Amino acid sequence: MDFLADDNIAGVTLLRLVSRGNAIISELLRLSEHVPPAYKSEDLSIKNPKDRQTNKYAPVIFDFGYLKTAEYQEHKIKSSLELEELDEDCRETHMEILKRYYLLFESIYKYIIDLIKFLDDLEQGIFIQLTMEMIFMNTDGKQLMCESLYLYGVMLTLMDDRIEGSIRERLLVSYLRYKGQSEIELLHDVCTLCGSTGYLPGQLNGIPLRKPPNYPEELFSRVINQRDEKDQYQWRTFVEMVIGRLRSDDIYNQIMAYPSPEHRSTALATQACMLFLSLYFAPNILHDEAAVMREIVDKHFADNWVLSFYLGFTIDLSIAWAPYKSATLALNNTINLANVKSLSVKHVNKMDRQLVELKNLLTEGKLTKDFILDSILKLLNHLRDCNTSIRWLLLHTTTLNKKFRDIVSVEVDLDKLLEFILKTAQFEFILKTSLQSLLETKQDQWGVCQQQSSERMKDLGNYFSGENVLVKVKKNENLKRWFYDIAEKVNLSYSDATSAGRKIQLIIQALEEVEQYDQIDTNLQVKQYIKETSALLRQMIRIVNIKEEYLVTMATVGDISYAWQIIHSFIPGMQSKIKRDPAYVLLLRATFLKLSSILHLPLVRINQAQSPDFFSVSEFYSGELVGYVRRVLEVIPQTMFITLSEIIDIQTNRLHELPTKIEKERMKEVSQLEERYKLAKATHDISVFTEGILAMETTLVGIIEVDPKKVLEDGIRKELVLTIAKTLDSTLTFTSGKTADFEGRLKQLSATLDGFRRSFEYIQDYVNICGLKIWQEEFSRIINFNVEQECNSFLKKKGSPLVSVFQSKEIPIPSFPPIDSSVNFMGRLAKELINQTDFLKTIYLESGWFERDGREVVGVKMFSLLQNSVGTFGIRGLDKLLCFTIVKELQLFIAALRPQMKPLVPFLNSLVDTLHPISDIPKEGKIYADSLVKTMKLWPLFIQSICKIGQLQLLRRKIAMILNLSCKIESNTLSCALDVTNKALLSSITAHYHQPEKFPYPGDDNRLLGEMSKYLESGGFSDPFTKIYVTSPPLECFSILIFLFILSQMSRFVYQPSLGILIVKNKKAPLDSSALIVGLVTFMKQFHSSYTQQILAFLAQYIRFQTLNMQKEGGKVVNDIPLEVSNIMAVIEELCKYGNLSRETINSYVPPYLFDSFKATLVHPV
């Protein structure tokens, strides 16, 4: 019976179940590395909310205690606006990952339920003519039955070890709260299975931090204890049969790969770990059945006590079985201090002997194909000895038993063990490669040897025919026929290797006998022919004896998946060897290939079941392998950058440029030979250090191809990113608030990065990379990532740094602890720039920001420093941050303004009615003064918000000018192309609004406008004053309120003709009029344009009123324009300039002669 045949429903069902189990474990391992920090924070365990500092979500994250007080907790959250917003933020941030965790926990529960159902179907006879006993008699059947139980044990063990119980409870409760209990069908069952056990992962002096009584058997029995008595009986029967098979059988036929009795425990290691976990489903055996435990220990653990239960996750039986009486007694019979000492010495001595043998075998020219053909069985035995010793030494150096560890650590030299692993892997790789080559060319080589043997026999037949003219020999008809007959017999069938081998042996024997004839014995040429033919025939025997089974045996023997977690501790040793000898990296390639065996265990069943999970699972484990390779090899770029720092120092500080002309006498002095020698030596060190990895061949690790050149480049990128990020973070810190400090920091950053960039470009050819390209790509990525994270603080739904489009797993951008309210250096830079241009301290002119004494604070020089330090990417990032800040300021301003305006709305409406129609002039001027008094409480809020927005807008405009200038200078072709394309697009959009049927608007799938917008903003082709930042419902009485605000501020200013701006009269109450006006323009732009028209109408009405009601003194009319009118006209001029208002629009409200009079007064002031 083929249990895995497509028409065998039972076999297919069980295979798919086991396949699913392996996929679940891979997802568990994947998710265990990405537990949200909010759910694993230790602060959640602190009962006093005031003591919770690091986790802002702590008040809305609960464990299973929530289920008892759900109504109270929900009421508490809903009664607090702050908690409600925090809860919503937590939901939006974590809902996706919470769903994945719940699906993981649910899949574990469904797995065991489906396994119980399968057993029930077997009992019910659903699978015709199949019973549990019959399946256990089938080789594939008993393997899958044992694996199904084992995988469930692995799931539970890893779940509790990798995702702490309290974390699981928090994840489940959060998912319940955000998803709704009615939407989660299996919630109660999943919570029962995945609730906290009280176990704390980790050890202290070999003892678990916390291991509750009856652990883990209580966890293993949670689901089955909820089932009825019939299911429990079937389960006990199933567990007993699994344990029975694992005790007595070699279910995977591993003894064939390990024929030596000395290697029995290694041969049975796979099912030993299965048996270990299976025993927890029947804890009575561990407690009370001494005879059974003695049998298990004698067979599986006679010479070992540390085992890997799944992909390198180890367990120490001397610790794990300590609570179980029978298990401990059985183990003590074989594992004691004397035995541990004996085993340690034995394997260390074997390692020493095998290292000598490996050194001999790995000598150049030793492992030839002929040598392998002659010694294949000996080589395989040597490979078995090496791998069994490696297994024992690797596993038992991790023992948690202090007494045993002291003995093993004394005997085992870890550095020598690492060398042993590397050389064994190299030997295995060479042997495997040679065998594969021999198997691929086996038939061709057989044909060549066969043909040459046949031709030689025919030649000898011709020789004894006596018909050869040039060689006189006596004719011998018998020898002639005999040799022709042998030539025919040599043409053997390749397919029947056994029969062919016997016949070849007989032919060789016949050839040895024919040599005794006098006519042949006395002829050296004939004897030589016969010996060469015998050699060819023996070669055919060796060739035919090479079998595919040897490769299978090598794969089984060379499996090192048991050490996947342990091997990580050897990374420093590997890196140390690479530092001493960069060529050592060539030896590591074989080790990396050997580690690929971790893919076999989880993928073999998934592949057999043709599961769609194959790609995701293989991608996960292959990614882990590639990550390991990168971690080992990252020592090369790390060391390279240490040397690069010396090059930077030489080129930046010590090496001076050669002058255009040099006097002959000063040639030696100017040449700086000592410094140039140091530079050349450092450069040579870098090139030699990278030679090893560049000499490595491309290697397929799992399903991912590892290109050593790409690994080197990624490593260099990683170190480059780390260096640049550290430099930016450490340099861009501002504490004094002084302009000199700000300028000094930018100069320091510019000099540091420039020296680093020049040195990086200098070495690019020596390490075969594109230095400038890498620099620009990584620098832009660092800036964009930090800008994105800084912008996160403005968003309600904050994205995780791990899922950022600018973040990379292979080349991560580091995050540093914030030193102020900003998230990172980009926030600090933006904050300092805003502080330097504070509207209360500076005055804005077209060339920049100035203090009142005329000293420039931020201008062309400062922006040039910004350009040289953080580059175009940094300036563009500052622009984006300023944009987000403006949005936030507008939102806060509007939100704060609405409630304060509400009581004033009736009054403002009556004021509007009084002033209407606007074309007329009010009868009384007192109405303006009364209105200003009643609204004066609003003005502090207006001044702070409007001026702040205006200041930020002016900064954005200045940045746009710098970006545009930079684009025109550095890439004029791009600048022109953007300009033309922009005009063409605007023309097309205008045509659409005139004739929408003829010129349709681009569809949503058209990416041109979106992409073009990014280019235009990066090139400075944008006007921030025309941007709409927020969308808000209309504000009641908006126009009259803005008018009153402008009117209220006019008495503070006086127009300064030489500067062309309004300046404050009272120096003790400073204010930048440009920031005020630009802020007003921006604020008005966020609402309908009709509001702007109304505001201009109110201003014009006020100007007409004041002009027609000039006071008379001594019977004469004063020709001077009142101060408020003059200032308002200046404001209107500025609104026209900054707001892109046409002169015709202004003239429709204010007569042109008034502006002419205003300008004449400026030219000839009275």
- Classify residue 937 as exposed, middle or buried by CB count within 10 Å of its CB (0-12, 13-18, 19+): exposed
Kindly state the average pLDDT of the residues 266-294: 93
Following DSSP, what letter does each residue of 559-596 receive, concatenated?
A: --GGGTTGGGGGHHHHHHHHHH-GGGHHHHHHHHHHHG
Cα 1006 to its chain centre, rounded Å, is: 31
- pLDDT one-digit tens code per residue, 986-1020: 888 888 888 888 888 777 777 788 888 888 888 88
User: Distance (Å, rounded) from C-alpha 183 to C-alpha 175?
Assistant: 10
Contact criterion met (CB below 8 Å) for 706 and 625: no
- Model confidence band, residue 635 (pLDDT cutoffs 50, 70, 90): confident
The helix or strand, by DSSP H or E, that contains position 882, with its residue range, turns out to be helix 860-901
Q: Are strands 200-204 and 207-210 parallel, antiparallel or unpaired?
A: antiparallel
pLDDT for the residue 416: 92
pLDDT, position 471: 57
SS3 857: strand
Which of 641, 621, 623 lies closest to 631, judged by CA? 623
Q: What is the pLDDT of residues 107-140, one digit of tens each?
A: 999 999 999 999 999 988 888 778 899 999 999 9
* Gap between the Cα atoms of 255 and 236, Å rounded: 29
Q: What is the mean pLDDT of the chain?
A: 86
SS3 state of residue 844? strand
Give the span between the Cα atoms of 79 and 56, in whole angstroms: 18
- Tens-place pLDDT, residues 922-961: 877 788 888 888 888 899 999 999 999 999 999 999 999 9
* Sequence-ordered alpha helix ranges (H) in 279-368: 283-288, 290-300, 317-320, 325-334, 337-361
Q: Are 1128 and 1050 in contact (CB under 8 A)?
A: yes
Cα dist. 473→476, 518, 528 in Å?
Answer: 9, 13, 17
For 420-447, give the secondary structure using H, E and C. HHHHHHHHHHHHHHHHHHHHHCHHHHHH
For residues 140 and 156, give the distance between their C-alpha atoms in angstroms, rounded to a whole number: 25
CA atoms of 103 and 696, how far apart (whole Å): 42
* For the chain, the helix, strand and coil percentages under 3-state DSSP, each to the nearest 5: 70, 5, 25
Q: Which residues make beta-bridge pairs with 706? A: 699
Identify the burial level of 952 via C-beta atoms within 10 angstroms of its C-beta, where 0-12 means exposed, 13-18 middle and 19 or more buried. buried
**pLDDT surpasses 70 at 236:** yes
Cα 610 from Cα 631, distance rounded (Å): 33
Q: Which of 237-251, 1098-1112, 1128-1142 has the lowest mean pLDDT?
A: 1098-1112
Give the span between the Cα atoms of 891 and 897, in whole angstroms.
Answer: 10
Whether the Cβ atoms of residue 1056 and residue 1109 lie closer than 8 Å to each other? no
- Residue 169 C-beta-side C-alpha neighbours within 13 Å: 16
**Bridging pattern class, strands 1053-1056 and 856-859:** unpaired
Q: How far is Cα of residue 13 from the mean position of the Cα atoms in its chain?
A: 36
CA nearest to 319, candidates 195, 449, 208 = 208
β-pairing verdict for 200-204 and 848-850? unpaired
Q: What 3-state class would DSSP assign to 812?
A: coil
d(CA 64, CA 192): 10
Tell me: the pLDDT tens digits for 759-800? 888 888 888 788 889 999 999 999 999 999 999 888 877 777
**pLDDT score for 470:** 45
The residues near 994 (Cβ < 8 Å, ≥ 6 apart) are none
Cβ contact 308:395 at 8 Å: yes
Matching residue, tokens 């620009």:
776
pLDDT of residue 1157: 67
Give the number of other Cβ atoms within 10 Å of residue 50's Cβ. Answer: 6
Assess whether the previous peptide bond of 216 is cis (omega < 30° from 0).
yes
| pLDDT number for residue 1118 | 38
pLDDT grade for 1135, boundaries at 50, 70 and 90:
confident
For residue 734, pLDDT beyond 50: yes
Handedness of CA 469, 471, 476, 481 (dihedral sign): negative
Q: Give the dihedral sign, CA 935/940/943/949.
A: negative
In DSSP notation, 1037-1063 reads: THHHHHHHHHHHHGGGEEEETTTTEEE
Measured CA to CA, the distance from residue 997 to residue 1004 in angstroms comes to 17
Mean pLDDT of 571-599: 84
Residue 935 tokens read as 């609204």
**Residue of 777, 788, 1044, 778 lying closest to 907 (CA atoms):** 1044
Angle at 142 between CA 141 and CA 143, to 5 degrees: 90
Look up residue 42 and give its DSSP letter: G
**Number of Cβ atoms within 10 Å of the Cβ of 1118:** 12
Kind and range of the H or E run holding 848: strand 848-850
What integer pLDDT is reported at residue 1115 of this predicted model? 36
Taking each helix axis from N to C end, the angle separating 585-595 and 414-440, rounded to the nearest 10 degrees, works out to: 70
| pLDDT confidence of residue 333 | 85
3-class secondary-structure state, position 706: strand
Arithmetic mean of pLDDT, 1046-1068: 85
Asked if residue 323 has a cis previous peptide bond (ω within 30° of 0), the answer is no
Strands 306-310 and 207-210: unpaired
- For 655, 724, 747, 846, 873, the CA distances from 868, given in Å and listed in that order, are 22, 14, 8, 22, 11
Is residue 1065 classed as helix, strand or coil in its secondary structure? coil
Report yes or no: 321 and 385 within 8 Å, Cβ to Cβ.
no
Amino acid in position 1124: E
What is the model's pLDDT at position 497? 65
- The answer on pLDDT for 1117 being more than 70 is no
Strands 1061-1064 and 1053-1056: antiparallel
Tokens (6 digits) for 1011: 């992409």
Q: How far apart are CA 1063 and CA 852, in angstroms?
A: 10
User: Which two tokens mark 485?
Assistant: 């007959």
Contacts of 445 (CB under 8 A, 6+ apart): 438, 539, 543
The predicted-structure confidence for 814-856, as pLDDT tens digits, reads as follows 999 888 888 899 999 999 999 999 999 999 988 899 988 888 9
Q: Are 445 and 514 in contact (CB under 8 A)?
A: no
Kindly report, residue by residue over 52-71, the tens digit of the pLDDT.
444 788 899 999 999 888 89
- The helix (run of H) or strand (run of E) holding residue 858 is strand 856-859
Q: Find the mean pLDDT for residues 12-29.
A: 94
**pLDDT-derived band at 657, boundaries 50, 70, 90:** confident
Nearest Cα residue to 1078 out of 1067, 1062, 1090: 1062
Helix (H, G, I), strand (E, B) or coil at 202: strand
Structure tokens at 418: 């690492």
Mean pLDDT lowest for which of 670-674, 717-721, 812-816? 670-674
Most confident of 450-464, 497-511, 604-618: 604-618
Backbone torsion region of residue 491, taken as left when φ is above 0, otherwise alpha when ψ lies between -120 and 50, otherwise beta: beta
CA distance 1025 to 928: 30
530 neighbors 524 (Cβ within 8 angstroms): no
User: Amino acid letter at 1087?
Assistant: F
